[in-house]
Structure formats: C-alpha cells, structure tokens
Amino acid sequence: MRQHPEDRTSDDASMAPRSADFGPSSLALDMAVEPGSVVATFLYARLHGFSAVCQAMGSEDAAAFVTEVRRMLTDVVAKLGGEVAQRRPDSILAVFGNKPDERKPNHAQRGLHAAILAVHEAVQLAQALASRPHFAGLPPLTIAAGVHLGPAEVKLRGKGGNGMVHAVGEAVEVARMLEVTATDLHWSVATSAATRLAAAGRADGGRIGSVSLPDNSFIDVVEVTGLVPRKGSSTPPRVFEMLRESIQLNQQTRKRGHTGPNAAHPGAAGGHFLIEGYRVLRKIGEGAMASIYLAQSAEGGPPQVLKVMRLDHGVEADGLQRFIQEFALLAQLHHPNVARIFRQDFSVGHAYIAMEYFPRGDLRVRMRDPVDTDTAIGYIKQMAGGLGAIHEVGIVHRDLKPDNLMLRQDGSLALADFGVAKQVSMKITDTGDGDIVGTPYYLSPEQALGQPVDARCDMYSLGVLAHELLTGRKPYHAASAQELLHMHINAPVPLLPPEHQHLQAVLEGLMAKDRQQRYPSGQTLLDDLARMGL
C-alpha cells in the first residue's frame, strides 16, 4: 500500500468533505467577474507515459491500472474539497471554490495542495511500476500539473453527470496551458504568480517565467517546489520533506525521459510563448528577425531587453546563425559605448538574447530636437569609442544609424543591434554576393557597390551621422534608393556651415569616397579630435 502523507496531516483541509454548492454565492470573491461567472482555483493534471504503460499490460491489468489512476486523481481532489469537472483516463480537471464554513477563501491553497499531493501519488505509482521487469525500457510515468485562480462559468451537471460539475472559461484554459508549460520546462507543477500569492505562502516557489496568452498579454508563472506547513502545524516535518522529494524526483525523471508531446521540439505543440527565468513586462518592438520585450530577470536588478526569435520551420538556418552570432560578437566586448549583453539561451521553442535596457530610447528620438554643438561632438566621440572597441576585436557593425545608437539614463550612448554585424575573420558570409545590407541614408560607397567591407565602412556611416548631428540634415537626399546609393558613390562630401568649418577636414576624413583616404578606426578619429582640443 502506498504511503499517503496527507492522511497524517492535521494542519490542512485534506479530510474536508466535498463542497455541495458551486453557485455564484459560494464562489464569488471581492472582484469583478462576468455575469454567470465565479472565481475559483482550477487544477489540470495529466500523466505522461500513461498510454505506453497501458499498452504494455494485458487487458485485465490495464483496466485495473486505469481504475487506480482514476481513484488516485479523484481522491486527491476530494481530500482537498474540490470538485471534478472533467476526468479522462490520464488526466483530471478540478475546481476548488469557496466553502460555506470558510472565514476567508482559501481555494488557492487547496488547489496547490492538491497538485502537490497528485505529484506525490503519481511518483509512488511510477516507482511501483518501475520495479516490474516487463516495464523496463518504457517511457517513464510522470505527471505535470497547472493551477490557476480566476473567473469561469461553473455549474452542476445535469442527470448522468456522475456528480461532476461543468467548468468553462479563460481560467480553465489557463490552467490547461500551465500544464503544458510544466511539461515543456520539465517542472512538476506550474502556477500563475497571482495564484501563488493568493495562497498566502502555502506553496514554495522555485523558478519563474512568463507565458503569453492568446490576446498577446502575459502572465507570470512560478514553479511549485513544496508545501509549506501552517503556523503551529503538528504534522511531522518529514511529511513535507517527502512531498518536496516527490516533486524533485518527478521533474528529474521528466528531464531524463523527455516525456510529453513537445519532446522533439519544445513549445511547438503548445503554441505559446514562454521564457524561463524572466518576467515579461511588455512588448516594446518587432524586428525582421526577432520580437523585442522588456523583462525582469528572476535574479533581480534593472529591467533587461529580450530579443526573442521563434524556432519553427519558417526560420532559416542562416537567420538563426546570425541571431546567435550577435551574442557571440557582443559577449566579447566590455566597453561603456557598446550595449551590454547578459545571456543567450533557448527556452521552449525560442532562442533569445538578454541585453541592456535603454530607458531613454535611441538617438533618433533625441535628434528630433536640435542638438547643440558640444552635445553633437560628445556623441561623435562616444560613437568613435564604441566603434574603436568593436574594430579592435575584428567586428564591423555595417548598420550604424540613429536607431542602433541607444541612450542610457545618464545620457551616455552605446552601440547596439549587431544583427548584421560580421567578424572580418569569419569565412561564412551571411549575405549573398552583391546583397546590400544596411540603411541607404548611412551606407558606405563600398556597401552600395556590394563590395567587401572593413572597419572603414563604419567610419563612413559615422561621418553621415556627424553631418546630421551638426547640421540637423542628412548629407544626401534623393527621390529613390538607387539615386541615393549613386550619391554615396559619386557625390562630393558636402560642406559644413561656416560655424562648423573647423570640422570640415574631419568630415572629409570620415566620408571620403576612397576608403584609403578615411580614418581607419574610431581611435584615430578620437586622436585627431584630441589634437584639435575637442
């Protein structure tokens, strides 16, 4: 007989009778809900590896196994005062609502408690099966559960409903989605952060993440790692240790066995967006290769920017290579005028890069207003410093423009977005011969001609930016992109206004058509400006 630690627990509602009324009067909390809806906690739990076990058994043993699983899941729900809303051979959906004798709602506590007990029961069942020789080599039997508190329509079923209730609504679907999240991350129990908060410390939390909902909003999710004793509990500490050990063993088995429908390509079947270790605050942009989100790391600290690329069949190999290359390039650099990068990883069907967040936006936003001479020269020097740093390690940015120059809160500037950057020593090219990469207003003549590039192409782009910062105008204007490219190749370097004539030679050294006549690096420009007393 398997051990049931909850049977020895005196500090919880494990032996509470099943609630008889799920009408709105017994479930509603102090929050606005749709007419006909109630607020409750929903648990969805599913056994993985269930079908393989059944197929390995004879018909009588399989029937007994299905009965045992049903009893196990149903009893866990009943012990914590829940109601069954849906029951399938390998899964259960349960509802935990307010009970008439409760002074304050604790259905979040009971729902999480039930999920933890379900994991413990499933682990003991899996251990009993694993001891039988003819089950060797089968996918391991594990469980994943999702728990969410929210509004849904809950009502008693009619005749033939076997005493079950009917539950539909967003909260139900979120609970199901959280089970998929637990499956993808090899967690045992995933819950929404709000549900854990409502449980008032009854469940210990581990790792965190954010999951997207169908309306593109996000909810924070938390890994449940254990049950916390109530104040004054008389339950032996070993009981809570056993529950925690079961949770850990279940997730370790999940990792080894890679069970679940998403094992071959995590996240693909779930169809949801999930980044573990971060709370996604909001979406702040969309690029050609990646979506951009503002997020908070589980480790704390200031907000970070997540550049996220979905891994699916529509992503070309060179696109993923370029995305990962951006991290590899930036990770080498530690310079005040280069954006800091913190991490590159993969999470449930996505690759992502965690980067520094710039609350003041980019240089283009700053350039909407006139920039005084001293500030313009300061920006030019900072750009030169950042370029000097990347050129020193053999990196060419190739897309220097105001949108890729970010401003920190203190006003300092940093180079960012190395999505088309290329290390000079790399043998693999990420564009076809003759392809133009970059923004036409800031392209160098060699880029316009589709020729190989080096650090001097970035110096040309810096010259275009310097002209725009000093005069408020771009150096070249044309009716079409082709005409603009022609001007980059053939038009003379424009003259600066009289108040900036002392910088004309600097501009000539940046925007020379012949790259041999340009500043070879950011440091040489800084040296020249220093000699001029700037």
How far does CA 190 lie from the centroid of its chain?
Answer: 15
Is residue 528 within 8 Å of 509, Cβ to Cβ? yes
Helices (H) and strands (E) in the chain, counts: 15, 18
Q: For residues 210 and 222, is the Cβ–Cβ distance under 8 A?
A: no
Q: β-pairing, 304-310 with 350-356?
A: antiparallel
End-to-end CA distance of the chain: 84
CB 168 within 8 A of CB 148: no
> Helices 455-471 and 522-531 sit at what angle, rounded to 10 degrees?
50
What is the enclosing helix (H) or strand (E) of 320?
Answer: helix 317-330
- Residue pointed to by tokens 């283009």: 364
- From the list 220, 399, 417, 458, the catalytic residue is 399
Side-chain half-sphere CA neighbours of 308 within 13 A: 26
Residue 159 CB partners (closer than 8 Å, separation 6+): none
CA 361-362-367 angle, to 5 degrees, is 115
**Bridge partners (DSSP) listed for residue 92:** 45, 87
* Nearest alpha carbon to residue 528 among 506, 511, 496, 500: 506
Question: Which region, left, alpha or beta, applies to residue 290 given φ > 0 means left and ψ of -120 to 50 means alpha?
Answer: beta
Inter-residue contact 240 to 261 (CB < 8 Å): no
DSSP code per residue over 106-143? -HHHHHHHHHHHHHHHHHHHHHHHHTSGGGTTSPPPEE
Integer Cα distance of 218 and 243 in angstroms: 30
Taking CA atoms, 240 is separated from 1, 4, 230, 236, in Å, by 20, 12, 11, 8
On the 0-12 / 13-18 / 19+ scale of CB atoms within 10 A, 16 is: middle
Q: Is 399 a known active-site residue?
A: yes
Half-sphere exposure of 492 toward its Cβ, with a 13 Å CA cutoff? 4
Q: Which residues are catalytic?
A: 399
